Each structure stands twice: as structure tokens, then as C-alpha cells.
């Protein structure tokens, strides 16, 4: 007991604990080729010192520093957390000798393995290509993205295999895309990626970006993905917007298939946007001129027009579309069909018939026009019809913009139109089957 360097009786509890910790930190804590992590505490011209915890410090010598890629070497700074391999558990100074160069790709392999295990998508940049696909990096690892695993959009972009690889894949260089790791093999230095496997995540990311960038009033390009009775859905490149039936056309349509078909490319205008719910309201007709906006420049009261009957209603009369201006729908009230008493409008007019009618009222703000069948041949309109027939129509239309000069220029005053009956309704044509008991009988 006399040759004991530190008799237990003379060691205080705290001193013994510190000695034990120091001893355990140096004996068997590190092994050759072990991967460790630590924090850079000091950088000199020839060495990098890394704190490994438990009062242990590792050193990276100049030879290993020079083996690092230049950009990695220049980016290192005090305070950085790094990976390193143990080259020697302890040198003459009691430090652990470390290698940073061997650990450069280790973190990336671990990241790739973790991505593969969790099947998490990651955004990469396409940096190169070979004959079978493109190359994208995860950290410093080169991942291979086969052409068969590209997204459908990118496959359409690169075309078929008859073209040389440089013509096919050059278009993708520099593009960012989401991929999933589908194979990791360190031994063969093999890392395989797939764009198709990340399609769901890619779409979610595209939707997020799109919702954050678009605004109401913006005009976008899209592709019709589905058609329903109430409207059509359009893929805007990451998010779907909907065109309601009422926003497809200024004219009346019964089903969206009359205007659109699946797969059709369309130009649409954003008319509503709810970023929280992801709902985007679109319109086709908002990009077309409103036919009612300048209707008084094209038509005037008293003018004769041709129209096709598309609906006959027992109570209201006939609904027509103007020939050559099919987006304008007008009403021939029941009282304007004939001078003689009739029990049904079908006695004088039928659906599908093209008839000549006279304009009685134009109300652009209410988007309605009233026409007459019974006044077509009235004597009081003879002079007006003669002027219109002889090409005075353009002059009359121009005069409509200046009410003060109209009467003087025409010489013949516009005939006084008889008051319209209550049949001149403001609502849209009644739905099919909405007839009264008389017609049904």
C-alpha cells in the first residue's frame, strides 16, 4: 500500500470522480476507423482541432486537410459541427488523430440512407446526363435518375429514344425537381433516384408555390383534367382550378362539354382565390369581349334582325339567339308574337325556326333585349327599314353615341313603340319542363 500513488484515503470524492472520468475517456473510448462527430474549436495553418466531448480533443493534420476538396476546406470555420474518422486513438500528445477527408461523403451516404428508409422526397438540381438518364447530386453524391423514372412532364419534354442523349437531356440541365431515393448501395457506389416516386410530394410543393404566387386577375395557361355537369377542372401546373358552368361562355350552355374537352389546353383568368382552402376560381368568358357591352353600337330600336328560336314557353313567349351574334339571347314576349289572339305561342313560332324580328328594347345593364314578330311589317317602320337597307346603318349606330344629334340626322323620328306587357321578364329562360298546365294538357 505504501507504493500507491494515490491512496484512496487521500482522494476526495470529487477528485476521484474526475480522475475516473479522465481515465474512462482515454481508455477504450475511441477505436480506429470509428466515425465520430465533434465541433471545431481551433484552426491553424497546419492543423484543425475538434472537440469530441468528455474532455477529449481530436486533431486533423495538414496532410489530411490538403486532401479535402477545396470548397470544403475553405468553408470550414470554428464552431462547425463535423464528422471525422478515427485514424489513431491517441498520439504522443494525448489527442485523437482524425481524418476529415474520409468523412466528407459519409454524411451524404447517411442522408441518402435515411431518405431511403423514410421514403422522404428531396429537391435536387439536375446537373448532368448520360445515355440512360440524368445525374443529380445529394450533397456530394452523384445520384442517377433513369429516363424511365422521370415525371410524365419531363418524359414528354425529352421526346423518344431516337434522338441523341445530348439533345434529349440537355433541356433538363439546371432544373430543380423533387425525387425519392429508391436504391442505396455503398459497396457499388450506387444511388438511384426517381421523380415518379415523388409525384405526390412534387404536386403538393407545386401547389404551395402556385398558391403563393398567383393573384386574382392573373391570366394563366392550363390543361382541362375533368369535366363535370357543374363545370370543368383545369390543371394549372401543380394546382387545380375550376371553371364554373356560368364562367365558360357569355352565351347559354347546358353542359361544359359543349365548350371544352379533357386534355384541351386553355387560357383562363383567375377570378377568385382562397389560399387557405386552396380553391381557385377560373373563367373563360372573362377573357372574351362582353357582347352586351357595345350592343347599342351594333343594334338599335326598330332594326330588323334574324334570330333562331331555341325555346318556346307557354307563359312567356319565345326565347331566341341572334344569328351571327349567338351570345345574345333575347325574348319575344307572348304579346309580341301575333296581332291575333292565340292559345299557344307554338301556333305562330317553333323551336329551331329562323325568323325575322324587330328590336323593341335594348337594356345592356340588365343584359336583355325584347323583340317583336308582329311588328315586322308595320307601316310606321317603312322609312327606317329603307334607310337601313340603303346602308345608313353605320351612320345610325354612330349617331346612337350622340343622343343630341340623332333626331336631326335621321330626319325621320323613331316610331313610338307600344308599351311592353309584363311578359318582358328579366329572368333567364325557364328550365326544361317548366310549362303551365295549359301546355301540358
Please indicate, yes or no, whether residues 302 and 425 belong to a single structural domain of this protein: yes
Please indicate, yes or no, whether residues 360 and 409 belong to a single structural domain of this protein: yes
Please indicate, yes or no, whether residues 111 and 84 belong to a single structural domain of this protein: no
Question: 87, 103, 119 — which closes off a domain?
Answer: 103
Asked if residue 6 belongs to a domain, the reply is no
Please indicate, yes or no, whether residues 182 and 255 belong to a single structural domain of this protein: no
Residues 204, 209, 213, CA angle at the centre, nearest 5°?
A: 145
pLDDT tens for the 441 residues of the chain, in order: 343 333 344 444 455 445 444 444 444 478 888 888 899 999 998 999 999 887 788 999 999 998 888 888 888 999 999 889 899 988 888 889 999 988 887 878 889 999 999 999 999 999 999 988 999 999 888 999 999 999 888 888 888 777 888 888 998 999 999 999 999 998 888 999 999 998 888 888 878 888 888 899 999 998 998 999 999 999 888 788 999 998 888 877 789 998 899 889 999 999 999 888 888 999 988 888 788 888 888 888 888 999 999 889 888 889 998 988 878 889 999 989 988 888 888 988 999 999 999 999 998 888 889 999 988 887 677 667 666 666 555 555 555 555 444 444 444 444 444 444 444 444 455 555 555 444 443
Asked if residue 440 belongs to a domain, the reply is no
Question: 287, 309, 342 — which closes off a domain?
Answer: 287
Asked if residue 234 belongs to a domain, the reply is yes
pLDDT for the residue 386 = 66
Please indicate, yes or no, whether residues 132 and 152 belong to a single structural domain of this protein: yes
Phi, psi of 314 (to 5 degrees): -60, -40
Please indicate, yes or no, whether residues 137 and 226 belong to a single structural domain of this protein: no
* Domain carrying residue 254: 214-287
105 vs 439: CA distance, rounded Å:
85
Please indicate, yes or no, whether residues 220 and 234 belong to a single structural domain of this protein: yes
CATH code of residue 67: 2.40.50.140
Domain count, the chain: 4
Asked if residue 307 belongs to a domain, the reply is yes
Question: 229, 257, 287 — which closes off a domain?
Answer: 287
pLDDT for the residue 434 = 54
Asked if residue 439 belongs to a domain, the reply is no
The three cell numbers locating residue 156:
414528354
Asked if residue 16 belongs to a domain, the reply is no
Distances (CA, A) of 41 to 26, 58, 101, 155: 19, 10, 18, 49
Please indicate, yes or no, whether residues 141 and 53 belong to a single structural domain of this protein: no
Amino acid at each position: 500500500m505504501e507504493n500507491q500513488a494515490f491512496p484512496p484515503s487521500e482522494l476526495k470524492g470529487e477528485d476521484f470522480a474526475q480522475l475516473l472520468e479522465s481515465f474512462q475517456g482515454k481508455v477504450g473510448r475511441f477505436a480506429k476507423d470509428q466515425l465520430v462527430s465533434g465541433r471545431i474549436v481551433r484552426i491553424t495553418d497546419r492543423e484543425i482541432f475538434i472537440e469530441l466531448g468528455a474532455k477529449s480533443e481530436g486533431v486533423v493534420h495538414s496532410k489530411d486537410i490538403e486532401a479535402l476538396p477545396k470548397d470544403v476546406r475553405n468553408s470550414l470555420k470554428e464552431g462547425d459541427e463535423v464528422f471525422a474518422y478515427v485514424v489513431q486513438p491517441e498520439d504522443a500528445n494525448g489527442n485523437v488523430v482524425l481524418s476529415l477527408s474520409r468523412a466528407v461523403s459519409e454524411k451524404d451516404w447517411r442522408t441518402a440512407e435515411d431518405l431511403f428508409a423514410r421514403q422522404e422526397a428531396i429537391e435536387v438540381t439536375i446537373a448532368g446526363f448520360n445515355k440512360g438518364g440524368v445525374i443529380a447530386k445529394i450533397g456530394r453524391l452523384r445520384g442517377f435518375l433513369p429516363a424511365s423514372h422521370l415525371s410524365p412532364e419531363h418524359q414528354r419534354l425529352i421526346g423518344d429514344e431516337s434522338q441523341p442523349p445530348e439533345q434529349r437531356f440537355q433541356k433538363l440541365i439546371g432544373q430543380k425537381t423533387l425525387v425519392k431515393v429508391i436504391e442505396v448501395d455503398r459497396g457499388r457506389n450506387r444511388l438511384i433516384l426517381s421523380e415518379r416516386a415523388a409525384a405526390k410530394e412534387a404536386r403538393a410543393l407545386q401547389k404551395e408555390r402556385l398558391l403563393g404566387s398567383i393573384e386574382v386577375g392573373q391570366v394563366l395557361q392550363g390543361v382541362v383534367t375533368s369535366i363535370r355537369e357543374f363545370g370543368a377542372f383545369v390543371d394549372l401546373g401543380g394546382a387545380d382550378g375550376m371553371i364554373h358552368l356560368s364562367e365558360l361562355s357569355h352565351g347559354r350552355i347546358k353542359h361544359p362539354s359543349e365548350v371544352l374537352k379533357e386534355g384541351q389546353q386553355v387560357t383562363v383568368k383567375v377570378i377568385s382565390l382562397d389560399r387557405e382552402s386552396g380553391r381557385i376560381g377560373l373563367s373563360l368568358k372573362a377573357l372574351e369581349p362582353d357582347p352586351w357591352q357595345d350592343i347599342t353600337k351594333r343594334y338599335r330600336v326598330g332594326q330588323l334582325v334574324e334570330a333562331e328560336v331555341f325555346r318556346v314557353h307557354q307563359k312567356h313567349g319565345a326565347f331566341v339567339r341572334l344569328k351571327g351574334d349567338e351570345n345574345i339571347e333575347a325574348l319575344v314576349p307572348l304579346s309580341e308574337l301575333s296581332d291575333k289572339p292565340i292559345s299557344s305561342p307554338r301556333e305562330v313560332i317553333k323551336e329551331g325556326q329562323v325568323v325575322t324580328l324587330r328590336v323593341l328594347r335594348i337594356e345592356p345593364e340588365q343584359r336583355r333585349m325584347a323583340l317583336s314578330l308582329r311588328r315586322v311589317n308595320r307601316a310606321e317602320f317603312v322609312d327606317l327599314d329603307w334607310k337601313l337597307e340603303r346602308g345608313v346603318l353605320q351612320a345610325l349606330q354612330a349617331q346612337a353615341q350622340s343622343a343630341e344629334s340623332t333626331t336631326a340626322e335621321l330626319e325621320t323620328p323613331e316610331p313610338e313603340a307600344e308599351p311592353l306587357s309584363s311578359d318582358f321578364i328579366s329572368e333567364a329562360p325557364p328550365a326544361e319542363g317548366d310549362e303551365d298546365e295549359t301546355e301540358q294538357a
